[in-house]
A and B are shown apart, each in its own frame.
Chain A
């Protein structure tokens, strides 16, 4: 091979140009890193944050707990509203975290989406029942009004009935402090 001939002196302009790709790449990483750490929720549902809970009145999903109406959120204390369903596997995953929040004295309400009473009972028996009230939303009407697009989703609602925070997806153990902080800010 002829490659390793005596090296000629390199022009200075060429030398700094060699660092350009790296510089561009570092700029890329910085930008993308920003993109990753920025608040993840930028869907249009967040338009409801700072807005009052839409008015609704749902029948009880199971006999053991009362139904849920938006009047509950005028009680002066912040509450957590969890949208779940017995057929939803991720909902079972987040159940321990909801239990944990319940043990810490957070008032939690549930809305069961397109579900049957006996299925909900069985689900709660198996995964624990931290809910004070559970409303049945068989046509997803309230879910849509809340701007929720899937299950599970969780809302922090303050004592005056204003939505303060929306958590899309499973509440994982590392999210518990976040939820508690949002509840504190809402006046817990």
Chain B
């Protein structure tokens, strides 16, 4: 196969690379418009619901007394509210530990056709700046004991 003998091979290479990269960019922009998952609060969902089956995220407060577990033991139903609107949510899975009634949650999922939000994943806010009282009461001696025990009996 004879080489195409361009006067400036470098220019040809640059142009090819540019075309591919620009194509990738345009494709990415198009894909992002249809695939990015938008953030909604309950009043947004009530005012202008997203199309069914479009991936979105729903953020708000878990209403007091709204968490119910189904008979299978792994599906939970609860209501997310923002003070104005309320959206029922269904989630099948293991809930994060900080997920409790009266606290904030972000649910990833989609709106079902019956007006229930089907969550694939729940994110509860974590907190880093926190020291509990139990540990403050522990004397240095006790702390050392705990460490010693841990060294003697590593990972069970």
The answer to the question of B18 belonging to the interface, with a C-beta cut-off of 8 Å to chain A, is yes
- Inter-subunit contact A147/B127 (CB<8 Å): no
Query: What class of interface size applies to chain B in its complex with A?
Result: 20 to 34
- Inter-subunit contact A150/B18 (CB<8 Å): no
The answer to the question of A35 belonging to the interface, with a C-beta cut-off of 8 Å to chain B, is no
- Which among B11, B18, B106, B131 is the interface contact of A11 at CB below 8 angstroms? B11
In the assembled complex, the CB of A15 is this many whole angstroms from the nearest CB of chain B, namely 10
The answer to the question of A2 belonging to the interface, with a C-beta cut-off of 8 Å to chain B, is no
- Inter-subunit contact B133/A14 (CB<8 Å): no
Q: Known contacts A14-B11, A147-B61, A150-B130; is A47 also within 8 Å of B83 by CB?
A: yes
Convert A83-116 into 0s and 1s, putting 1 for each residue whose CB lies closer than 8 angstroms to a CB of B: 0000111100000000000000000000000111
In the assembled complex, the CB of A177 is this many whole angstroms from the nearest CB of chain B, namely 24
- Which among B104, B129, B131, B132 is the interface contact of A45 at CB below 8 angstroms? B104
Residues of chain A within 8 A (CB-CB) of B10 are: 11, 14
The answer to the question of B59 belonging to the interface, with a C-beta cut-off of 8 Å to chain A, is yes
Which residues of A pack against B, CB within 8 Å?
Answer: 11, 13-14, 17, 20, 43-45, 47-48, 51, 87-90, 114-116, 141, 144-145, 147, 149-151, 169
What are 7 A-to-B residue pairs whose CB atoms are below 8 Å? A11-B11, A43-B125, A44-B60, A45-B104, A145-B102, A149-B125, A149-B127
With A44-B125, A147-B61, A169-B129 given, name 9 new contacts (CB 8 A): A11-B11, A13-B11, A43-B104, A44-B41, A47-B60, A47-B83, A88-B130, A89-B131, A151-B130
Which residues of B pack against A, CB within 8 Å?
Answer: 8, 10-11, 14-15, 18, 41, 59-61, 82-83, 100, 102-104, 106, 125, 127-133, 136
